[in-house]
Amino acid sequence: MVNPLRTALFGLLFVASLFLLAVNAREQHRQAAVAGAPLEAINADLVARIAIVHLRDPALPTSDPLARRALRTAIQRYRVLLRAHPRSPVLQQRIGILLGVNEGPEAAWEWLRARSSGPDLMLWQAAYAPGALSPAARDAALSRLEALNLAWYGELVRARIYAKAGAASQAQETLARLQRRLRPGVMGAILFSSLALIAVPFGAGVWVAALLLRQQGLLRPADRPQPFTAVRPRALIEAFVAWFFAIIAGGWGLRQLLAALDLPREWPLAAPIGLLLLTQIVAAAAGGALLLAGARRQGSGDAPESGSAESDSATPSSPIATREIAYGVVTYLAALPLLLLTAGVLGRLLPNVPTPPNPGIALALRAQSFWDWAFLILVVVVMAPIFEEIFFRGALYGAIRRHAGAGAAIAVTSLFFALVHPQLPLGFLPILVLGIVFAIAVELRRSLIPSIVAHMLNNGVALLLLAVVRTP
């Protein structure tokens, strides 16, 4: 018996979720437009680091072809960011410093003196302007350098000051120390790139093999019911809506709370990560309670709703098995080439569009201690994939599939999966592709384990890559 008040309540929750989702997206885009694009900045920074590890002499423009090519690319990418944020002193300083390495001190001085004043201008004059540098001027410049937050770029300025002051050995030692600091991140990025070059052909091979097996009639779903067939479609929809509302409203409330508290960046990440974890747990508890209630009603003798013939043979989801975990790895490999292709195409088409990062990425950029990373891995790599797969590819997918078929279920769940993540617009298509591949895996394997494993691998690899390549 359909309860109209209950239906109206969950309808209102769903509409409220969509409204808060739009509010969240608008606020995140406003923040991205003001704060800049951290992933694009990391990309430019990584290319610059590749150049610096090949630098030989801190006093002269580099003559290494690879270093010059990398420097030109890094400067170009920083210029693109500067067009979006023309008043950013960090971007202006990094471009000037890299110009000094690539084209010589005259180019750096011409760039920096037009964009600096006061003590900063005196620093750039000491480092890059023509003329000799006295010991007193050297010491004053080094003192001012310590006051600026130039990250590792400050060491290039330090080496240049030493070289101009005639301390060639100190300049070379500063450069060597900087290269030792930058080399692990560069080598890690090269390793990840090599692994991706190996994995992408395997992923393409998965699709070729799947097409060949389908042509021969050998690609068939697993011989077991879909997840949550013991729960009525109405209960599945209600569980998804409850979870969806809790996760969206919780994210909005968390953002408002952190903005009101205005915690300093020196605070440990335990506070925001703990609140994010609490939001996930509350949302999962809200949706999970409705799933359990629906299963109990179904098990107590309630008649299945029309369109859910599978409920007659419903059984709980299969236990974790090595074979399903292996299918999860295959699913991730299949998603990888499509993920890289769509991300690359959108990045080319929309290079200057500010895109907010995933909250997990924003937190990872600040993570320092072991416990920061431990809690971040727990939230981003373990809990988020489990909960999202249960409610997207479990509850919502199962309900739509019974009423409209697998094709509609794959399309709708993937669309909502892409919308619930904040990386619009550049992240929409790659996340949509991920959702489609995960849903196909659930359809074929009749289990959530492969999609959970693939989701964990996707988040884990992204977090590991960020930890390796972020600015040291």
Q: Is residue 349 part of a domain?
A: yes
State pLDDT tens for residues 57-110: 887 777 888 889 999 999 998 998 888 788 889 999 999 999 999 999 999 999
Q: What is the pTM of this model?
A: 0.85
Residues 178 and 228 in one domain: no
Both 388 and 294 in a single domain?
A: yes
Q: Is residue 191 part of a domain?
A: no
Question: Is 202 part of any domain?
Answer: no
Residue 196 lies in a domain: no
Q: What's the chain look like in SS3?
A: CCCHHHHHHHHHHHHHHHHHHHHHHHHHHHHHHHHCCHHHHHHHHHHHHHHHCCCCCCCCCCCCHHHHHHHHHHHHHHHHHHHHCCCCHHHHHHHHHHHHHHCCHHHHHHHHHCCCCHHHHHHHHHHHCCCCCCHHHHHHHHHHHHHCCCCCHHHHHHHHHHHHCCCHHHHHHHHHHHHHHHHHHHHHHHHHHHHHHHHHHHHHHHHHHHHHHHHCCCCCCCCCCCCCCCCCHHHHHHHHHHHHHHHHHHHHHHHHHHHHHCCCCCCCCHHHHHHHHHHHHHHHHHHHHHHHHHHHHHHCCCCCCCCCHHHHHCCCCCCCCHHHHHHHHHHHHHHHHHHHHHHHHHHHHCCCCCCCCCHHHHHHCCCCCHHHHHHHHHHHHHHHHHHHHHHHHHHHHHHHHHHHCHHHHHHHHHHHHHHHCCCCCCCHHHHHHHHHHHHHHHHHHCCCHHHHHHHHHHHHHHHHHHHHHCCC
Q: Cis peptide leading into 425, omega within 30 of 0?
A: yes
Task: State the pLDDT at residue 33.
Answer: 57
Same domain? For 277 and 306 the reply is yes
CB within 8 A of 234, min separation 6: which ones?
2, 294, 305, 399
Q: Which candidate, 189, 193, 199, 207, places its Cα nearest to that of 433? A: 207
Q: Are 12 and 55 within one domain?
A: no
> Mean pLDDT across the chain, nearest whole number?
86
CB-based contact 440:327 (threshold 8 Å) = no
What pLDDT was estimated at residue 293?
87
276 domain-assigned: yes
Sign of CA dihedral 419, 333, 191, 385: positive
* Residue 333 sits in the same domain as residue 414: yes
Domain presence at residue 315 = yes
Are 54 and 179 in a shared domain? yes
Percent of the chain past pLDDT 70, that is, above it, reads: 88
Looking at the structure, do residues 252 and 399 belong to the same domain, yes or no?
yes
pLDDT digits 0-9 by tens, 313-332: 334 444 567 889 999 999 99
Output the six-digit token pair for 31.
Answer: 């923040």
* 118 and 226 housed in the same domain: no
* Structural domain boundaries enclosing 81: 38-183
Residues 78, 11 share a domain = no
Taking a C-beta distance cutoff of 8 angstroms, is the pair 213, 264 a contact? no
Higher-pLDDT residue of 397 and 40 is: 397
Place of tokens 């292996």: 326
In a domain? residue 447: yes
Nearest-angstrom CA–CA distance, 381 and 358: 13
**Do 146 and 174 reside in the same domain of the chain?**
yes
The residue with greater pLDDT, 439 or 470, is: 439
For the ranges 95-99, 204-208, 275-279, 438-442, which has the lowest average pLDDT?
Answer: 275-279
Mark whether 10 and 50 lie in a shared domain.
Answer: no
In this structure, the answer to whether residues 112 and 19 fall within a common structural domain is no
Per-residue pLDDT of 225-279, as tens digits, reads 889 988 899 999 999 999 999 999 988 887 777 677 666 656 667 777 888 888 9
- Taking the C-alpha atoms of residue 132 and residue 294, their distance in angstroms, rounded to an integer, is 81
Choose one of 164, 183, 202: the last residue of a domain: 183
Kindly state whether residue 105 falls inside one of the protein's structural domains: yes
The domain total for the chain is: 2
